[in-house]
């Protein structure tokens, strides 16, 4: 890079470096350059809203130092200004949190004009300036960072919570696109403590704006013998993270109680379907959330199901063509059960029973039925009967084995 350019390592790389955490990607800010200068130096432009360039060797992103001002509603309602005269301090002030508003010069000097290092030591997530309240997406981002660093003792500063409440009640969250919201939600669910994401949103009144169906679960009147459904939701997400569930499983864990107190199963199904569509969740997430809502009670009662009911469950969740999805459903059942008993040590004997039952059903061969000349609906009905007979034999053997052990 030419001498009249000055580059700074910024944001998450500086933060995680100071925390002693692995740095997975590095972003840079360039001071004193124009887009033409960057291209002359061999950088490839990729930014649409403001000048961002890829370094030809490393592929890392270099953005020109910029300022911004609010020009409309929502995440995209900003006007950006770049100039060689913009300083690194002016660039950093537009960032969300002080711990993300630090930079490191090429000689290793830390540039920390807003107290980020002090807040790292105090384990505080605190906004840089009142301009924080101009971007509704920051409500989700702060809750996501809280979910990431909760294990290190980080909490959200009260003054930042207040600004998040203001954003939540202003209607600005409704201006976020489903795609941009989903990006933050999905990333937050995959953090080490996804329950903290939900808890922070609830405490700053943002859950009501984003997920009113979940917000109501924290109402003390919606309680069961084990406590309110909000606490159960948080416990389930905590277990899901400890089980290292994929995103689809965590999404199903998040939505499971949304329709649990609905008067009919069909209304619970419809409610979760509406949330899926509103959030534009990926197909695998949508499917597992609906399957969990529709069938988890049967999964919990697996050993007590009649052979015909068990065969119907396996057909409904399509264990024959989608075995991996069935495994994810069992994991959701395990997390849900553990949320009621022992979040630290999930114990779910239903999983072993249903695993073996599913293997039994899969082993039933269709070939003898084909040799009898059966086809179409007649073939399908006969296959289900054979599977039910095999499951009845498995169930009886299981009962006999349990009696012998006791």
pLDDT (tens digit per residue) in 81-110: 888 889 999 999 999 999 999 999 999 999
State the Cα–Cα distance between residues 285 and 329, nearest whole angstrom.
11
**Model's pTM, two decimal places?**
0.90
Would you say the C-alpha torsion 238, 241, 243, 246 has a positive or negative sign?
A: positive
Maximum separation of any 2 CA atoms in the chain, in Å: 84
| pLDDT beyond 60 at 225 | no
pLDDT tier, 262 (very low <50, low <70, confident <90, very high otherwise): low
Angle at the Cα of 301 (from 329 to 275), degrees rounded to 5? 40
How high is the pLDDT of residue 282?
98
How high is the pLDDT of residue 259?
73
How high is the pLDDT of residue 347?
77
Specify the DSSP element, H or E, that contains 249. helix 247-255
Of 212-216, 220-224, 352-356, give the lowest mean pLDDT range. Answer: 220-224
Q: Which residue has the tokens 């290793």?
A: 108
How high is the pLDDT of residue 72?
52
| pLDDT beyond 70 at 199 | yes
Domain ranges of the chain: 1-121
- Region 2-7: mean pLDDT is 72
Please determine, looking at this structure, whether the domain spanning 1-121 carries the CATH number 3.30.460.10: yes
State the Cα–Cα distance between residues 142 and 156, nearest whole angstrom.
8
pLDDT tier, 221 (very low <50, low <70, confident <90, very high otherwise): low
How high is the pLDDT of residue 1?
47
| pLDDT beyond 90 at 281 | yes
Q: Would you list the DSSP string of 79-95?
A: EEEE-TT--HHHHHTTS
How high is the pLDDT of residue 2?
46
- Region 379-396: mean pLDDT is 94
| pLDDT beyond 70 at 75 | no
How high is the pLDDT of residue 46?
87
- Region 318-347: mean pLDDT is 88
| pLDDT beyond 50 at 60 | yes
Q: Which residue has the tokens 């309110």?
A: 228
Of 223-227, 313-317, 376-380, give the lowest mean pLDDT range. Answer: 223-227
Of 58-67, 138-147, 340-349, 387-396, give the lowest mean pLDDT range. Answer: 340-349
| pLDDT beyond 70 at 369 | yes
- Region 52-65: mean pLDDT is 90
């Amino acid at each position: 890079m030419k001498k009249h350019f000055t580059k700074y390592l910024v944001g998450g790389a500086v933060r995680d470096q100071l925390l002693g955490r692995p740095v997975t990607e590095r972003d840079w800010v360039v001071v004193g350059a124009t887009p033409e200068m960057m291209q002359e130096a061999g950088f490839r432009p990729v930014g649409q809203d403001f000048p961002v360039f890829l370094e030809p060797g490393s592929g890392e992103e270099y953005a020109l130092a910029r300022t911004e001002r609010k020009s409309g509603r929502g995440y995209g309602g900003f006007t950006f200004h770049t100039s060689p005269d913009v300083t690194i301090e002016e660039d950093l002030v537009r960032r969300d949190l002080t711990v993300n508003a630090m930079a490191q010069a090429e000689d290793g000097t830390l540039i920390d004009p807003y107290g980020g290092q002090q807040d790292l030591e105090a384990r505080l997530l605190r906004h840089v300036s009142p301009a924080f309240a101009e971007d509704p997406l920051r409500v989700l981002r702060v809750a996501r960072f809280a979910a990431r660093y909760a294990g290190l003792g980080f909490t959200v500063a009260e003054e930042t919570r207040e600004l998040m409440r203001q954003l939540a009640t202003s209607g600005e969250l409704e201006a976020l696109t489903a795609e941009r919201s989903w990006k933050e939600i999905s990333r937050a669910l995959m953090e080490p403590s996804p329950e903290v994401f939900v808890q922070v949103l609830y405490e700053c009144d943002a859950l009501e704006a984003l997920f009113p169906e979940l917000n109501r679960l924290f109402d003390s009147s919606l309680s069961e013998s084990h406590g309110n459904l909000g606490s159960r939701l948080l416990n389930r997400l905590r277990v899901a993270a400890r089980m290292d569930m994929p995103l689809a499983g965590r999404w199903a864990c998040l939505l499971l109680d949304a329709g649990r107190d609905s008067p009919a199963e069909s209304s619970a199904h419809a409610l979760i379907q509406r949330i899926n569509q509103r959030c534009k969740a990926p197909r695998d997430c949508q499917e597992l959330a609906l399957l969990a809502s529709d069938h988890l009670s049967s999964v919990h009662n697996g050993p007590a199901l009649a052979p015909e009911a068990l065969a119907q469950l396996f057909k409904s969740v399509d264990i024959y063509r989608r075995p991996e999805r069935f495994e994810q459903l069992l994991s959701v059942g395990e997390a849900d059960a553990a949320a009621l008993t022992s979040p630290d040590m999930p114990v779910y004997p239903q999983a072993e029973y249903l695993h073996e039952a599913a293997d039994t059903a899969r082993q039933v061969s269709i070939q003898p039925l084909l040799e009898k000349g059966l086809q179409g609906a007649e073939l399908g009905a006969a296959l289900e009967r054979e599977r039910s007979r095999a499951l009845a034999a498995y169930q009886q053997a299981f009962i006999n084995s349990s009696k012998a052990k006791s």
